[in-house]
Structure 1
Amino acid sequence: MYRRQLHQFLLDEVPRDKISMGKKIVAVEQDEERVVIQCSDGLSHEGSILVGADGAYSGVRSSMHALLQREGKLSASDAAPLKVHHRSILGTTGPLDKAKFPGAHDKVAYTGIFIGKNSTHTWRYFSVVGNRIAWRIDTQLDMAQSDEAESRTVSEWDSEFQPDADLWRKYRTNLGGSMGDLIDLTDPETISKVMLEQKLFDTWSGVIEVGVW
Protein backbone atom coordinates (compact mmCIF):
# COMPACT_ATOMS: atom_id res chain seq x y z
CA MET A 1 0.00 0.00 0.00
CA TYR A 2 2.84 2.41 0.89
CA ARG A 3 4.50 1.88 -2.51
CA ARG A 4 1.21 2.56 -4.31
CA GLN A 5 0.70 5.76 -2.29
CA LEU A 6 4.27 6.87 -3.05
CA HIS A 7 3.80 6.27 -6.78
CA GLN A 8 0.55 8.23 -6.74
CA PHE A 9 2.21 11.09 -4.85
CA LEU A 10 5.02 11.28 -7.39
CA LEU A 11 2.58 11.20 -10.30
CA ASP A 12 0.50 13.96 -8.71
CA GLU A 13 3.60 16.13 -8.27
CA VAL A 14 4.83 15.75 -11.86
CA PRO A 15 2.97 17.71 -14.56
CA ARG A 16 1.30 15.35 -17.02
CA ASP A 17 3.03 17.03 -19.97
CA LYS A 18 6.37 16.03 -18.43
CA ILE A 19 5.61 12.30 -18.52
CA SER A 20 6.35 10.39 -21.75
CA MET A 21 5.45 6.73 -22.24
CA GLY A 22 6.90 4.11 -24.58
CA LYS A 23 10.35 5.69 -24.82
CA LYS A 24 13.62 3.84 -25.47
CA ILE A 25 17.01 5.55 -25.05
CA VAL A 26 19.50 4.80 -27.80
CA ALA A 27 22.21 7.42 -27.10
CA VAL A 28 23.26 9.85 -24.39
CA GLU A 29 25.27 13.06 -24.72
CA GLN A 30 26.23 15.79 -22.31
CA ASP A 31 28.02 19.13 -22.17
CA GLU A 32 28.84 21.58 -19.39
CA GLU A 33 25.22 22.52 -18.78
CA ARG A 34 22.92 19.67 -19.80
CA VAL A 35 22.46 16.02 -20.59
CA VAL A 36 20.60 14.96 -23.74
CA ILE A 37 19.00 11.59 -24.48
CA GLN A 38 18.27 10.40 -28.01
CA CYS A 39 15.25 8.10 -28.28
CA SER A 40 14.39 5.39 -30.77
CA ASP A 41 11.47 7.46 -32.08
CA GLY A 42 13.94 10.08 -33.33
CA LEU A 43 13.14 12.64 -30.64
CA SER A 44 15.58 14.01 -28.06
CA HIS A 45 15.04 15.30 -24.54
CA GLU A 46 17.34 17.29 -22.26
CA GLY A 47 17.72 17.97 -18.56
CA SER A 48 20.21 18.70 -15.80
CA ILE A 49 20.60 15.14 -14.55
CA LEU A 50 19.82 11.66 -15.90
CA VAL A 51 18.74 8.80 -13.67
CA GLY A 52 18.36 5.35 -15.22
CA ALA A 53 15.74 2.93 -13.92
CA ASP A 54 15.35 1.03 -17.18
CA GLY A 55 15.96 -2.60 -16.32
CA ALA A 56 18.72 -5.17 -16.50
CA TYR A 57 19.93 -3.94 -19.89
CA SER A 58 19.81 -0.27 -18.97
CA GLY A 59 20.81 2.01 -21.81
CA VAL A 60 21.67 4.69 -19.29
CA ARG A 61 23.99 2.42 -17.31
CA SER A 62 25.55 1.04 -20.49
CA SER A 63 26.39 4.57 -21.63
CA MET A 64 27.92 5.45 -18.29
CA HIS A 65 29.86 2.19 -18.06
CA ALA A 66 31.21 2.59 -21.60
CA LEU A 67 32.83 5.90 -20.70
CA LEU A 68 34.14 4.68 -17.36
CA GLN A 69 35.64 1.64 -19.07
CA ARG A 70 37.45 3.85 -21.60
CA GLU A 71 38.83 5.82 -18.67
CA GLY A 72 39.90 2.64 -16.89
CA LYS A 73 37.51 3.28 -13.98
CA LEU A 74 35.12 0.34 -14.47
CA SER A 75 35.60 -2.79 -12.37
CA ALA A 76 36.13 -6.17 -14.02
CA SER A 77 32.90 -7.39 -12.42
CA ASP A 78 30.85 -4.57 -13.93
CA ALA A 79 32.44 -5.09 -17.35
CA ALA A 80 31.55 -8.80 -17.38
CA PRO A 81 28.31 -9.80 -19.17
CA LEU A 82 25.20 -10.66 -17.20
CA LYS A 83 24.62 -14.29 -16.31
CA VAL A 84 21.20 -15.88 -16.67
CA HIS A 85 20.36 -17.71 -13.43
CA HIS A 86 16.80 -18.85 -14.11
CA ARG A 87 14.50 -19.53 -17.03
CA SER A 88 10.82 -18.96 -16.41
CA ILE A 89 7.49 -19.42 -18.11
CA LEU A 90 4.42 -17.58 -16.97
CA GLY A 91 0.88 -16.83 -17.94
CA THR A 92 -2.68 -16.13 -16.76
CA THR A 93 -5.60 -18.47 -17.35
CA GLY A 94 -8.96 -17.47 -18.71
CA PRO A 95 -12.04 -17.51 -16.40
CA LEU A 96 -12.11 -20.83 -14.54
CA ASP A 97 -14.87 -23.28 -13.65
CA LYS A 98 -15.94 -22.76 -10.04
CA ALA A 99 -16.54 -26.47 -9.49
CA LYS A 100 -12.91 -27.35 -10.31
CA PHE A 101 -11.19 -24.15 -9.18
CA PRO A 102 -13.22 -22.87 -6.20
CA GLY A 103 -10.30 -20.81 -4.90
CA ALA A 104 -10.26 -18.69 -8.03
CA HIS A 105 -13.81 -17.52 -7.25
CA ASP A 106 -13.17 -16.42 -3.67
CA LYS A 107 -13.43 -12.71 -2.89
CA VAL A 108 -10.04 -12.93 -1.14
CA ALA A 109 -6.90 -13.36 -3.28
CA TYR A 110 -4.74 -16.40 -2.58
CA THR A 111 -1.18 -17.26 -3.50
CA GLY A 112 1.04 -20.33 -3.31
CA ILE A 113 4.81 -20.66 -3.71
CA PHE A 114 6.55 -24.05 -3.82
CA ILE A 115 10.26 -24.86 -3.97
CA GLY A 116 10.89 -28.36 -5.28
CA LYS A 117 12.95 -30.64 -3.03
CA ASN A 118 16.02 -32.00 -4.85
CA SER A 119 14.70 -30.21 -7.94
CA THR A 120 15.67 -27.22 -10.06
CA HIS A 121 12.03 -26.12 -10.30
CA THR A 122 10.04 -23.56 -8.34
CA TRP A 123 6.40 -22.84 -9.13
CA ARG A 124 3.92 -20.25 -7.91
CA TYR A 125 0.40 -19.07 -8.58
CA PHE A 126 -2.12 -16.51 -7.33
CA SER A 127 -5.75 -15.71 -8.00
CA VAL A 128 -6.55 -12.51 -9.90
CA VAL A 129 -9.62 -10.54 -10.95
CA GLY A 130 -12.06 -12.31 -13.26
CA ASN A 131 -11.91 -15.78 -11.60
CA ARG A 132 -8.51 -16.38 -13.17
CA ILE A 133 -5.17 -17.65 -11.90
CA ALA A 134 -1.76 -16.24 -12.77
CA TRP A 135 1.08 -18.77 -12.62
CA ARG A 136 4.82 -19.06 -13.12
CA ILE A 137 7.42 -21.84 -13.17
CA ASP A 138 11.15 -21.14 -12.68
CA THR A 139 13.94 -23.51 -13.69
CA GLN A 140 17.41 -22.96 -12.25
CA LEU A 141 20.03 -23.13 -14.99
CA ASP A 142 23.55 -24.46 -15.15
CA MET A 143 25.49 -21.21 -14.75
CA ALA A 144 28.40 -22.53 -16.80
CA GLN A 145 26.12 -22.77 -19.85
CA SER A 146 24.09 -19.55 -19.52
CA ASP A 147 25.08 -16.15 -20.79
CA GLU A 148 23.78 -12.73 -21.81
CA ALA A 149 23.33 -13.73 -25.45
CA GLU A 150 20.82 -16.42 -24.49
CA SER A 151 18.73 -13.87 -22.62
CA ARG A 152 18.76 -11.30 -25.42
CA THR A 153 17.61 -13.80 -28.06
CA VAL A 154 14.92 -15.51 -25.98
CA SER A 155 11.72 -16.35 -27.86
CA GLU A 156 8.20 -16.98 -26.67
CA TRP A 157 6.72 -20.39 -25.77
CA ASP A 158 8.23 -23.20 -27.82
CA SER A 159 8.85 -26.95 -27.74
CA GLU A 160 12.01 -26.47 -25.69
CA PHE A 161 9.94 -26.42 -22.51
CA GLN A 162 7.82 -29.48 -23.22
CA PRO A 163 10.14 -32.05 -21.56
CA ASP A 164 10.42 -29.90 -18.43
CA ALA A 165 6.65 -29.51 -18.28
CA ASP A 166 6.16 -33.18 -17.44
CA LEU A 167 8.11 -32.67 -14.21
CA TRP A 168 5.66 -30.25 -12.65
CA ARG A 169 2.34 -30.69 -14.51
CA LYS A 170 1.16 -33.18 -11.87
CA TYR A 171 1.53 -30.86 -8.88
CA ARG A 172 -1.75 -29.76 -7.29
CA THR A 173 -2.64 -26.20 -6.32
CA ASN A 174 -4.54 -25.02 -3.26
CA LEU A 175 -6.97 -23.22 -5.57
CA GLY A 176 -8.03 -26.41 -7.36
CA GLY A 177 -6.61 -28.42 -10.24
CA SER A 178 -2.92 -28.86 -11.06
CA MET A 179 -0.17 -26.77 -12.61
CA GLY A 180 -0.76 -28.71 -15.83
CA ASP A 181 -4.42 -27.66 -15.77
CA LEU A 182 -3.44 -24.01 -15.41
CA ILE A 183 -1.14 -24.22 -18.42
CA ASP A 184 -3.76 -26.01 -20.52
CA LEU A 185 -6.33 -23.34 -19.63
CA THR A 186 -4.02 -20.50 -20.66
CA ASP A 187 -4.02 -19.17 -24.21
CA PRO A 188 -0.63 -20.31 -25.66
CA GLU A 189 -0.30 -16.93 -27.37
CA THR A 190 -0.14 -15.25 -23.96
CA ILE A 191 2.39 -17.61 -22.34
CA SER A 192 5.77 -15.91 -22.04
CA LYS A 193 9.28 -17.22 -21.54
CA VAL A 194 11.59 -15.03 -19.49
CA MET A 195 15.29 -15.26 -18.67
CA LEU A 196 16.15 -13.95 -15.19
CA GLU A 197 19.57 -12.46 -14.54
CA GLN A 198 21.16 -11.81 -11.16
CA LYS A 199 24.06 -9.43 -10.66
CA LEU A 200 25.09 -6.80 -8.13
CA PHE A 201 26.84 -3.94 -9.90
CA ASP A 202 29.67 -2.08 -8.17
CA THR A 203 29.15 1.18 -10.08
CA TRP A 204 25.80 2.95 -9.85
CA SER A 205 26.92 6.51 -10.51
CA GLY A 206 29.84 8.34 -12.04
CA VAL A 207 31.27 11.75 -12.75
CA ILE A 208 31.16 12.15 -16.52
CA GLU A 209 33.61 14.44 -18.25
CA VAL A 210 32.29 16.85 -20.86
CA GLY A 211 31.66 15.05 -24.14
CA VAL A 212 29.75 12.10 -25.49
CA TRP A 213 29.11 9.19 -23.14
Structure 2
Amino acid sequence: MNWLIEFFSDPANWSGSSGIPVRLLEHLEFTLAALLPAALIAIPLGLLIGHTGRGALIVVVSANLARALPTLGLLVLIVLLLGTATVLPVLIPLVVLAIPPILVNTYEGIRGVDHDLRDAAYGMGLRGPQVLVRVLVPVALPLILLGLRLAAIQVVATATVASYVSLGGLGRYIIDGLATKDYPSVVGGSVLVGGFALAMQGLFALADRLLVSPGVSRRVRTAKIR
Protein backbone atom coordinates (compact mmCIF):
# COMPACT_ATOMS: atom_id res chain seq x y z
CA MET A 1 0.00 0.00 0.00
CA ASN A 2 2.88 2.35 0.79
CA TRP A 3 4.34 1.72 -2.67
CA LEU A 4 0.96 2.53 -4.22
CA ILE A 5 0.68 5.80 -2.31
CA GLU A 6 4.28 6.68 -3.17
CA PHE A 7 3.67 6.11 -6.88
CA PHE A 8 0.44 8.07 -7.21
CA SER A 9 1.52 10.91 -4.92
CA ASP A 10 4.70 11.59 -6.89
CA PRO A 11 4.09 14.70 -9.08
CA ALA A 12 6.71 13.47 -11.56
CA ASN A 13 4.41 10.57 -12.47
CA TRP A 14 1.69 12.95 -13.60
CA SER A 15 3.60 15.13 -16.05
CA GLY A 16 5.96 14.86 -18.99
CA SER A 17 6.22 12.28 -21.77
CA SER A 18 6.30 9.42 -19.27
CA GLY A 19 3.48 10.71 -17.07
CA ILE A 20 0.34 8.72 -16.33
CA PRO A 21 -1.97 10.71 -18.69
CA VAL A 22 0.42 10.19 -21.63
CA ARG A 23 0.91 6.48 -20.86
CA LEU A 24 -2.85 5.98 -20.56
CA LEU A 25 -3.42 7.66 -23.91
CA GLU A 26 -0.69 5.52 -25.51
CA HIS A 27 -2.24 2.35 -24.12
CA LEU A 28 -5.66 3.40 -25.40
CA GLU A 29 -4.23 4.14 -28.85
CA PHE A 30 -2.53 0.74 -29.04
CA THR A 31 -5.71 -1.01 -27.93
CA LEU A 32 -7.90 0.75 -30.49
CA ALA A 33 -5.28 0.35 -33.24
CA ALA A 34 -5.37 -3.41 -32.72
CA LEU A 35 -9.08 -3.83 -31.95
CA LEU A 36 -10.44 -1.87 -34.93
CA PRO A 37 -8.76 -3.85 -37.75
CA ALA A 38 -9.45 -7.10 -35.88
CA ALA A 39 -13.15 -6.22 -35.72
CA LEU A 40 -13.22 -5.17 -39.40
CA ILE A 41 -11.81 -8.59 -40.32
CA ALA A 42 -13.54 -10.87 -37.82
CA ILE A 43 -17.10 -9.49 -37.64
CA PRO A 44 -17.91 -9.62 -41.40
CA LEU A 45 -16.24 -13.03 -41.64
CA GLY A 46 -18.16 -14.34 -38.64
CA LEU A 47 -21.44 -12.99 -40.03
CA LEU A 48 -20.80 -14.57 -43.43
CA ILE A 49 -19.80 -17.98 -42.07
CA GLY A 50 -22.56 -18.00 -39.47
CA HIS A 51 -25.24 -17.04 -41.99
CA THR A 52 -24.18 -19.36 -44.83
CA GLY A 53 -22.79 -22.22 -42.73
CA ARG A 54 -19.81 -22.42 -45.06
CA GLY A 55 -16.24 -22.14 -43.82
CA ALA A 56 -16.92 -23.26 -40.25
CA LEU A 57 -13.46 -24.85 -40.25
CA ILE A 58 -12.00 -21.33 -40.18
CA VAL A 59 -13.79 -20.69 -36.89
CA VAL A 60 -12.53 -23.96 -35.39
CA VAL A 61 -8.96 -23.20 -36.45
CA SER A 62 -9.28 -19.67 -35.09
CA ALA A 63 -10.53 -20.92 -31.73
CA ASN A 64 -7.67 -23.40 -31.46
CA LEU A 65 -5.18 -20.74 -32.54
CA ALA A 66 -6.35 -18.49 -29.72
CA ARG A 67 -5.53 -21.21 -27.18
CA ALA A 68 -2.17 -22.21 -28.67
CA LEU A 69 -0.74 -18.89 -29.89
CA PRO A 70 2.45 -17.94 -27.99
CA THR A 71 1.71 -14.23 -28.19
CA LEU A 72 4.89 -12.93 -26.59
CA GLY A 73 7.03 -15.27 -28.68
CA LEU A 74 5.27 -14.15 -31.87
CA LEU A 75 5.66 -10.53 -30.81
CA VAL A 76 9.39 -10.85 -30.25
CA LEU A 77 9.86 -12.78 -33.51
CA ILE A 78 8.06 -10.17 -35.64
CA VAL A 79 9.93 -7.33 -33.98
CA LEU A 80 13.25 -9.10 -34.63
CA LEU A 81 12.31 -9.62 -38.29
CA LEU A 82 10.84 -6.19 -39.00
CA GLY A 83 12.50 -3.99 -36.39
CA THR A 84 10.88 -1.20 -34.40
CA ALA A 85 11.13 1.67 -36.86
CA THR A 86 7.32 1.80 -36.72
CA VAL A 87 4.74 0.45 -34.30
CA LEU A 88 3.32 -1.91 -36.97
CA PRO A 89 5.44 -4.96 -36.02
CA VAL A 90 4.09 -4.72 -32.48
CA LEU A 91 0.48 -4.25 -33.58
CA ILE A 92 0.42 -7.32 -35.87
CA PRO A 93 0.43 -9.88 -33.00
CA LEU A 94 -2.15 -7.81 -31.11
CA VAL A 95 -4.48 -7.90 -34.12
CA VAL A 96 -3.90 -11.64 -34.55
CA LEU A 97 -4.69 -12.12 -30.86
CA ALA A 98 -7.91 -10.09 -31.06
CA ILE A 99 -9.41 -11.82 -34.11
CA PRO A 100 -10.31 -15.28 -32.66
CA PRO A 101 -12.65 -14.20 -29.80
CA ILE A 102 -14.49 -11.77 -32.07
CA LEU A 103 -14.79 -14.28 -34.92
CA VAL A 104 -15.88 -17.18 -32.72
CA ASN A 105 -18.50 -15.18 -30.78
CA THR A 106 -19.90 -13.55 -33.91
CA TYR A 107 -20.22 -16.94 -35.58
CA GLU A 108 -21.82 -18.53 -32.51
CA GLY A 109 -24.18 -15.60 -32.12
CA ILE A 110 -25.49 -15.92 -35.68
CA ARG A 111 -25.67 -19.71 -35.66
CA GLY A 112 -27.45 -19.67 -32.30
CA VAL A 113 -30.44 -17.67 -33.51
CA ASP A 114 -33.66 -19.70 -33.31
CA HIS A 115 -34.45 -21.39 -36.63
CA ASP A 116 -38.12 -20.54 -36.21
CA LEU A 117 -37.15 -16.87 -36.18
CA ARG A 118 -35.18 -17.33 -39.39
CA ASP A 119 -38.08 -19.13 -41.04
CA ALA A 120 -40.50 -16.40 -39.97
CA ALA A 121 -38.25 -13.75 -41.48
CA TYR A 122 -38.06 -15.61 -44.79
CA GLY A 123 -41.81 -16.16 -44.64
CA MET A 124 -42.30 -12.39 -44.45
CA GLY A 125 -40.48 -12.05 -47.77
CA LEU A 126 -37.09 -10.95 -46.51
CA ARG A 127 -34.06 -12.01 -48.53
CA GLY A 128 -30.79 -13.44 -47.20
CA PRO A 129 -28.92 -10.16 -46.56
CA GLN A 130 -32.06 -8.57 -45.12
CA VAL A 131 -32.56 -11.51 -42.75
CA LEU A 132 -28.94 -11.19 -41.64
CA VAL A 133 -28.99 -7.44 -41.01
CA ARG A 134 -32.54 -6.97 -39.71
CA VAL A 135 -33.06 -10.20 -37.76
CA LEU A 136 -29.91 -12.20 -37.04
CA VAL A 137 -27.49 -9.41 -36.12
CA PRO A 138 -29.80 -7.73 -33.56
CA VAL A 139 -30.40 -11.09 -31.85
CA ALA A 140 -26.71 -12.04 -31.97
CA LEU A 141 -25.50 -8.61 -30.80
CA PRO A 142 -24.91 -9.62 -27.15
CA LEU A 143 -22.47 -12.34 -28.22
CA ILE A 144 -20.81 -10.06 -30.78
CA LEU A 145 -20.23 -7.46 -28.05
CA LEU A 146 -18.94 -10.19 -25.75
CA GLY A 147 -16.36 -11.15 -28.37
CA LEU A 148 -15.27 -7.52 -28.68
CA ARG A 149 -15.02 -7.21 -24.92
CA LEU A 150 -12.89 -10.36 -24.56
CA ALA A 151 -10.64 -9.21 -27.39
CA ALA A 152 -10.24 -5.75 -25.87
CA ILE A 153 -9.23 -7.15 -22.48
CA GLN A 154 -6.72 -9.53 -24.08
CA VAL A 155 -5.21 -6.68 -26.09
CA VAL A 156 -4.98 -4.47 -22.99
CA ALA A 157 -3.11 -7.21 -21.13
CA THR A 158 -0.82 -8.15 -24.03
CA ALA A 159 -0.02 -4.52 -24.87
CA THR A 160 1.32 -4.32 -21.32
CA VAL A 161 3.71 -7.20 -21.98
CA ALA A 162 4.58 -5.70 -25.37
CA SER A 163 6.40 -2.89 -23.58
CA TYR A 164 9.18 -5.47 -23.32
CA VAL A 165 9.96 -4.75 -26.98
CA SER A 166 9.92 -0.96 -26.73
CA LEU A 167 6.17 -0.33 -26.94
CA GLY A 168 4.98 2.55 -24.77
CA GLY A 169 1.83 2.56 -22.70
CA LEU A 170 1.20 1.50 -19.12
CA GLY A 171 3.46 -1.51 -19.43
CA ARG A 172 6.47 0.79 -19.33
CA TYR A 173 5.94 1.31 -15.59
CA ILE A 174 6.06 -2.44 -15.00
CA ILE A 175 8.91 -3.34 -17.36
CA ASP A 176 11.10 -0.36 -16.46
CA GLY A 177 10.24 -0.70 -12.77
CA LEU A 178 11.35 -4.34 -12.73
CA ALA A 179 14.57 -3.46 -14.57
CA THR A 180 15.47 -0.72 -12.08
CA LYS A 181 13.89 -2.34 -8.99
CA ASP A 182 11.49 0.59 -8.74
CA TYR A 183 8.73 -1.42 -7.08
CA PRO A 184 6.32 1.52 -6.56
CA SER A 185 6.26 1.89 -10.36
CA VAL A 186 5.63 -1.84 -10.78
CA VAL A 187 2.72 -1.81 -8.34
CA GLY A 188 1.32 1.46 -9.66
CA GLY A 189 1.55 0.28 -13.26
CA SER A 190 -0.20 -2.97 -12.37
CA VAL A 191 -3.05 -1.07 -10.72
CA LEU A 192 -3.37 1.22 -13.74
CA VAL A 193 -3.55 -1.74 -16.14
CA GLY A 194 -6.16 -3.42 -13.95
CA GLY A 195 -8.17 -0.21 -13.79
CA PHE A 196 -7.91 0.20 -17.56
CA ALA A 197 -9.21 -3.34 -18.09
CA LEU A 198 -12.12 -2.71 -15.72
CA ALA A 199 -12.91 0.51 -17.59
CA MET A 200 -13.06 -1.46 -20.84
CA GLN A 201 -15.42 -3.94 -19.15
CA GLY A 202 -17.64 -1.08 -18.06
CA LEU A 203 -17.59 0.51 -21.52
CA PHE A 204 -18.80 -2.67 -23.21
CA ALA A 205 -21.39 -3.25 -20.49
CA LEU A 206 -22.73 0.24 -21.26
CA ALA A 207 -22.68 -0.49 -24.99
CA ASP A 208 -24.63 -3.69 -24.34
CA ARG A 209 -27.24 -1.77 -22.37
CA LEU A 210 -27.57 0.94 -25.04
CA LEU A 211 -27.41 -1.13 -28.22
CA VAL A 212 -29.10 -4.43 -27.41
CA SER A 213 -32.87 -4.55 -27.71
CA PRO A 214 -34.65 -4.97 -24.34
CA GLY A 215 -36.46 -8.02 -25.71
CA VAL A 216 -33.17 -9.65 -26.67
CA SER A 217 -31.70 -8.81 -23.26
CA ARG A 218 -34.64 -10.45 -21.49
CA ARG A 219 -34.27 -13.51 -23.69
CA VAL A 220 -30.55 -13.79 -22.88
CA ARG A 221 -31.22 -13.47 -19.13
CA THR A 222 -33.94 -16.12 -19.33
CA ALA A 223 -31.61 -18.49 -21.21
CA LYS A 224 -28.94 -18.03 -18.52
CA ILE A 225 -31.43 -18.83 -15.76
CA ARG A 226 -32.47 -22.02 -17.52
Structure number having the greater strand percentage? 1
TM-score by length of structure 1 reads 0.27
Q: Name the larger-Rg structure.
A: 1
Structure number having the greater helix percentage? 2
TM-score by length of structure 2 reads 0.26
